């Protein structure tokens, strides 16, 4: 884990309920970010810090969470179809395990999905 990039404060404060598809959030510090209800199809979250984030009801179809940290993230209702979670820190996350059925790279042995 290296140094994280920072979003400008005005951008960080305006992530909920937005159309953000295809954006690059790789290696960003998104600690406690609010992506609730956002459309994040195909976004790149590789190596991002998303701990304690609100991801409820967001559409992450095809998003890449490789090596991202999602500990304590709220994910209920999020769409994770074809999202990639290879090496992601999923312990614990708040979601229905069935949400990960169509995701890729999820290590259900080490994931802690509550």
Q: Is the pTM of this model over 0.85?
A: yes
Q: Write the pLDDT tens digit of every residue in 54-66.
A: 999 999 999 999 9
Q: Write the pLDDT tens digit of every residue in 28-55.
A: 999 999 999 999 999 999 999 999 999 9
Q: Other C-beta atoms within 10 Å of 110: how many?
A: 9
CATH no., domain 25-94:
2.160.20.80
Judge whether 76 and 95 are in contact, CB under 8 Å.
yes
Domain range list for the chain: 25-94
- Helix (H/G/I), strand (E/B), else coil: 96: coil
Residues 6+ apart with CB under 8 A from 6: 12, 28, 29
């Amino acid at each position: 884990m290296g140094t994280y990039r920072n979003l400008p404060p005005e951008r960080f404060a305006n992530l909920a309920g937005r159309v953000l598809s295809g954006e690059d959030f790789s290696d960003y510090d998104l600690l406690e970010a609010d992506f609730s209800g956002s459309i994040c199809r195909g976004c790149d979250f590789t190596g991002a810090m998303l701990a304690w984030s609100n991801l409820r009801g967001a559409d992450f179809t095809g998003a890449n969470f490789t090596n991202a940290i999602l500990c304590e993230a709220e994910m209920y209702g999020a769409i994770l179809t074809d999202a990639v979670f290879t090496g992601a820190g999923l312990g614990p996350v708040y979601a229905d395990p069935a949400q990960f059925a169509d995701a890729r790279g999820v290590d259900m042995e080490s994931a802690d999905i509550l």
